[in-house]
Structure 1
Amino acid sequence: MAHGKAQPVGFEDSLSKLESIVSQLESGDLPLERALEIFEEGVGLARLCQSHLAEAERKVEMLLRERGELKTVPFDPSADLTESPTSPRAVSTTVPKAATPASVPTIDFDDDIPF
């Protein structure tokens, strides 16, 4: 790591340090060498944060699986976050009805042909 500094161990400490690095880099006031050093440190911190999050997710899944409550739902980025992920709207399996011939407008293409 840059300058022999120890990386923060916990998620919150790592995230806080990463946010500080991002702010420094966004300021544009650093010399190139220093910017590269802290960028490298930031990449390590981002990986560490991702690792902490993945581990937390595994623990939650394991705990829910033990209680028999684990249900996987496909991710829908447009879903309302206030809804339960198992609500009928979020996990709808309803297939829309096909349009009936009476509701489909007919188009006469012969009128548009110039020859």
Structure 2
Amino acid sequence: MDEGNTAAAGAQDISQMSFEQALAQLEQIVQQLERGDVPLDQSISLYERGEALRAACQQRLDAAQARIEKIVTGTDGRASGTQAFDAEG
């Protein structure tokens, strides 16, 4: 079951990946699983890796959305500037 160990060890580097890299790897995993030619144990490892990648991508999307929502609006409802996402934290 080397595949499982490799996938588990690789899961530690997700935080070092860009959003685009994580998404590309997730798409690759989905394609492998959809083909159905992967042994069961490896499928489980791939699924776990895919779930970790999905969660990382979702977290980054949520953070990006929060940053966008930080656009400061004036009294007339128009954008009057921006505020750093971390300014309040």
Q: Describe the shift of the 1:56–1:67 C-alpha distance in structure 2 as closer, same or farther (beyond 3 A).
A: same
SS at match of 1:29: coil
* Structure with higher helix content: 2
The CA RMSD over aligned residues, in Å, is: 1.9
Counterpart residue number, 1:47: 55
* Alpha-carbon offset, residue 67 of structure 1: 4.1
Q: Which has the larger radius of gyration?
A: 1
Q: Does 1:60 align with 2:68?
A: yes
Render the CA deviation track for 1:27-65: whole Å, top value 9, x for unaligned: 000000000001000000000010000000000010x2x
- Give the TM-score, by structure 1 length: 0.54
Listed as ranges, the gaps of 5+ residues in structure 2 are 80-89
Identity across matched positions, percent: 34
Q: Of the candidates 24, 27, 34, which is equivalent to residue 26 of structure 1?
A: 34
Higher-RCO chain (CA-CA 8 Å, sequence separation at least 6): 2
Check conservation: 1:21, 1:38, Cα contact below 8 A: yes
Question: What does the per-residue CA deviation read over 1:7-46, in whole Å, with 9 as the maximum and x for residues that have no partner?
Answer: 2521111100000000000000000000000100000000
SS across alignment from 1:30: coil
**Count of equivalent residues:** 68
State how far apart, in whole Å, the 1-side matches of 2:29 and 2:44 are.
Answer: 11
TM-score under structure 2 length normalisation: 0.69
Quote the Cα distance in structure 2 between the aligned partners of 1:37 and 1:15.
Answer: 17
